[in-house]
Structure 1
Amino acid sequence: MHHYITESGASLFDYGCAFPQACLQSFGLIFGRRSDGHHVKCTVCCNGTKVCNEDLTCQRYPHRNDLIHQITSNGDHSLQFIMTDYEDVTKYAKYQSFSISNETSDYKLSVGNFSGNAGDSFTGHSGYKFTTKDRDNDLYSGNCATLYIGAWWYSSCHSSNLNGKYYHVSNSSYAKGIDWVTWHGHYYSLKATTMMIRKNTK
């Protein structure tokens, strides 16, 4: 297992193999995983462009979103969310098209063509920029990343947030947990989530 990048204090960038392009062609590239809170190191730091280590200090590593942009700008890609609740029910949401822009454009999200059994809680974020604690790109009068404890593609504010606070129980404060609104609403925090990119084949 190869753990390369931590971003926004919420998840490891976990290739699962030494060659990312090979992973993309096979089972997909995992770039966000929450399961037990161990991956939560800090909220967001360093202008959204560096990463937080266990001591909550900043180190110069590539930002996760830079790598996602690089990958998704090279061909067509799909995105899949796999989510498990505290009743151990697992559901998924897949988006046949997925990309994010570069840092200059604040990693604006483009996503579409939903399928799955978890409901669509992500298409509504398409077209919005990535907001962190110190880069407020959302439409809310405050900062959604600060209010809801995690960086995400907020509008004002969200119908999903897989970078929210890990509660270790299903119930959470309004919209501050790991949310997927079309499945469990804003007061339920999910037990485990995975975000995966796959390169589309013709």
Structure 2
Amino acid sequence: LSEDPLLAMTYNIIRPFKYEERYRLTIDSAMLCGVYGHCNNSMTVGMTVKGEKDYGHLIVAVQGLPVYGDSGRVIPAFMELLNSSGAPVAKTVVENGVATFRDMNPEKYYARIILDRNGNGMWDAGSYEKKLQPEQVFYFMLQFEIRQNWKIEEMWDISKSKPGEKPYELIKNKPKEDIKKKRDYREESKPRRSNSSTPGIRGLGI
């Protein structure tokens, strides 16, 4: 088992699964217990791995990664794929300027790169006491569309990206597109002149 780097209290099973194979996971009772002493019952879960052609692959060549001062050593970085809500669903380390995502479900994804200055594999918010800035995050402004049985190769020069700038679709508090004009009640209260004359009422003689 390996702790999931994106989801809290989640673990991944690390083993070489084969395409189009069926697997069964059996967990004995009292194998997992919570902080309040409640333990699990015995359970069996079945799962089937889809065929290789049912997945897609994404390979991103990353350029413009900054270096540590004058050392020339590139700052470590990792890339995350995000769903349409902006939640991370996959993560990989940028190795030799390349980020590779294999066996992804065919969907549309956004992407972001985190400069992992301390190399701990997670984003750090910085420290006021230690005078450390938050680790920089760069977003790819377009979506990646992964299709079945496709391998997509893209290039991303993050030196042309602004730190923290998100695609419009991922901005939660979007600016109002239509600004309503405020009513001028003082102007509305002024009497208006009519351009048409009201005809008088004539009496009818009998």
Interval of TM-score (by shorter of Structure 1 and Structure 2)? under 0.3
Give the structure-2-normalised TM-score: 0.21
Give the structure-1-normalised TM-score: 0.21
- State which structure, 1 or 2, has the greater radius of gyration over its C-alpha atoms: 2
Higher normalized helix content (fraction of residues) = 1
